[in-house]
Amino acid sequence: MTTLPPTTKNRLQQIPLANAVWEGDRRPLGNMASHLSEVKDADGECIIWVDGSEGAVRAMDVVPEDMGIEAVVRTLLRAIESPHHPGQPHRPQKIVVRNREIQFFLRGVLQDLDINVEYSPQLPLIDRLFEGFSAIEPAQPALPDIYDRAIKNVAHKIWENAPWELLADSDILRVELKGCELEQVYVCTMGMMSAEYGVLLYRSLDSLKQFRAAALGEHKSTAELEQAFLAQDCWFLNYEEPEEDDFDVAENEPFFGSLHPFEGMRYSLDEAEAKIVYAVLESLLRFCSRHRSALAEEPIESISQSYRITLPGKKTAQKTISTKVSTLPELAQELLNMGMGDRSDSMMPEVDIPIQEDLIPDGSLVSLASVSKELIEQLKHQPKTYCQASKVTPKGELPTIFIQTTRPKAKHLIGRIRDAGGLKAICFNPGHDPFSGEIYDLGLLQTGDSELFIFAEYSQDVVQQAKALEKWHQRCQKTKGYCGLVIAMGATGVNRGSPQAKDILALFEVKSINGEELGMGVLQLMPSFDF
């Protein structure tokens, strides 16, 4: 990617062009690390931009030595928009660098910004100023109050509407925008599987796919995942959870920002960005409210709806944006095929039921999910994965219980099931707590010796859990009751909550049954007294 987003380019074009020459460079930290209290690793590199006419540092960053060339652009944009004090925002007439690769790269990025990029083998100003600096946090420009209130208001409505109860992170929506600098964005909701709730608005479909592929790739280090995260091209809406002792906060507080390979992460939006984000979120809200029942189906069919969104402003000068929201079933399937399948469609909170002699190891992550036929075939040919295959192969994805724990506990769990004659069935049976009045569904595993073991408890009073269980039953109807149990390792590693194929140690294909087939009615929670 060698261009800036249109909104960013327009924002930069509005910043005054000054008759100034800047020097920019990227070089090893060396002894400079000892002068920076926040830097512990001397192997990093310093990116610095200096105004030659003022002899002042505009911006400086310390990055890992394997960070891409995009980091140079991120620091440059910060030097233009939010320089260190006392600098004022402006564009330089010329910048000088001593690296040919950086020179050619910046020429492509800075097109239409009237900034000349020249090469010089020496940068005397940076050489003299390289030691003794301290970083100063840049101030972010404030968003006009009318837009700040509007996007926060629609964010609160989205929190109440909870689109992540309907849409998995693979159920991407395309929002087309007429008359805007950006013709379309791709909306991804977070919350069914992850611990965070929010909405990502990708400005590029390629960026969405690239990040998904990078995040699902094997053998990724923390630094590589961080670099993939910063390489996204999107706006984001996230919600900050209130502190447990903060009784004045009634709900999660929304916050907005932008990610781009050249800008990095920015916790602010300008007015042009806020207009687009507001229009997209308002369209998402209306679309999910209008088509809630259709979006609850699995898989989600092709749906499109057009809207006219009134932008915030005085009534006498309000403008509208025409939008069109569409589901993308083919893209959803493509994203599912990249990894484990639509696990996030019904991700449950961590479940650790403290029942004596419970089959499920303490600290396990239990979730309802589904896996693709391709993954099933891969697992059956994976030597380290134990597979109990069924005689019938259902069409489409297989509804699956995921149990993720540590490797030793996973192997012990697999051994217990095999010693008990394998897995016979998966069952959900209603239960009732007469003391609290709570109604719940117990998830049960029946082994080959007809013993029953609880693997999870799903409260009917928790919307997310009830929705996940409803989708489980819908999927099982489509597969005529065939389902599976996956046991995976990695509960304490980087793939915690998102096991990859290499983490799966067992797959059991069985039938899903109801409690009536086992002669059970509604189970009553009874107290146990030890004397």
Each residue's pLDDT tens digit, 411-447: 999 999 999 899 999 988 887 666 566 778 888 899 9
Which residues in the chain are classed under CATH 3.30.420.10?
6-129
Give dist(CA 276, CA 261) in Å, integer: 20
* Angle, helix 205-216 to helix 222-230, in steps of 10 degrees: 170
Tell me what pLDDT residue 29 has: 74
pLDDT tens string 163-201? 987 888 889 999 999 988 899 999 999 865 444 678 999
Residue 203 and residue 235 in contact, taking contact as beta carbons nearer than 8 Å? yes
pLDDT tens string 10-63? 889 999 999 899 999 998 876 555 445 444 455 688 899 998 877 788 998 888
* Class of the CATH-defined domain 6-129: alpha beta
| Helical H segments across 311-461, by residue range | 329-337, 373-380, 407-419
The pLDDT > 90 percentage for the chain reads 34
> At residue 249, what is the residue type?
V
Instruction: Compute the average pLDDT of residues 350-376.
Output: 73
For residue 57, give both structure tokens.
């540092």
Residue 401 and residue 483 in contact, taking contact as beta carbons nearer than 8 Å? yes
Q: Say if residue 6's pLDDT is above 80.
A: yes
pLDDT tens string 270-298? 999 999 999 999 999 999 999 998 988 87
Residue of 46, 1, 53 whose CA lies nearest to 24? 46
- Three-state DSSP at 54 gives coil
| Helical H segments across 231-371, by residue range | 271-290, 292-295, 329-337
Long-range contacts, 489-493 (Cβ 8 Å, 24+): 489/404, 489/405, 489/406, 489/407, 489/410, 490/404, 490/406, 490/407, 491/363, 491/364, 491/365, 491/404, 491/405, 491/406, 492/406
Q: Say if residue 530's pLDDT is above 70.
A: no
Tell me what pLDDT residue 37 has: 44
Tell me what pLDDT residue 479 has: 86
* Helical (H) or strand (E) element with 444: strand 439-447
